Amino acid sequence: MQFQKEVEILAPREKVWQFIWDVDRFIACVPGCKEAKTIEEGKRYSATMVEKVGPFKVEFPTTIEVLEREELTHIKAQASGADNKIGSRMKLDLDVNLREQGDKTILGFVAGVDILGKLAALGHGIIKRKADQVLDEFAQAVKTKLEGDR
Amino acid letter, residue 45: Y
Binding residue (CB under 8 A) for another protein from 28, 50, 53, 110: 53
116 lines the binding site for another protein (CB under 8 A)? no
Question: H/E element holding 57?
Answer: strand 56-70
Among 119, 131, 135, 142, binds another protein (CB under 8 A): 119
| Residue placing its CB nearer to another protein in the complex, 108 or 117 | 117
Question: Who's near 77: CB < 8 A, 6+ residues apart?
Answer: 64, 65, 66, 67, 93, 94, 96
DSSP 118: G
| Residue 148 within binding range of another protein, rule CB under 8 A | no
Number of residues that bind another protein (CB under 8 A): 18
Query: Does 123 participate in binding another protein (rule CB under 8 A)?
Result: yes
Chain centroid to CA 92: 9
- Sole binder of another protein in the list 128, 136, 141, 145 (CB under 8 A): 128
With CB under 8 A as the contact rule, the residue among 40, 125, 148, 150 that binds another protein is 125
- State whether the Cα torsion 23-35-54-128 is positive or negative: positive
Q: Within 10 Å of residue 114's Cβ, how many Cβ atoms?
A: 14
Using CA atoms, how far residue 131 sits from 27, 39, 41, 51, in Å, is 16, 26, 27, 10
124 interacts with another protein by CB under 8 A: yes
Is there binding between residue 126 and another protein (CB under 8 A)? yes
What is the contact mask toward another protein in residues 55 to 84, using x (rule: CB under 8 A)?
A: xxx---------------------------
Binding-site ranges for another protein (CB under 8 A): 53-57, 85-87, 118-119, 121-126, 128-129
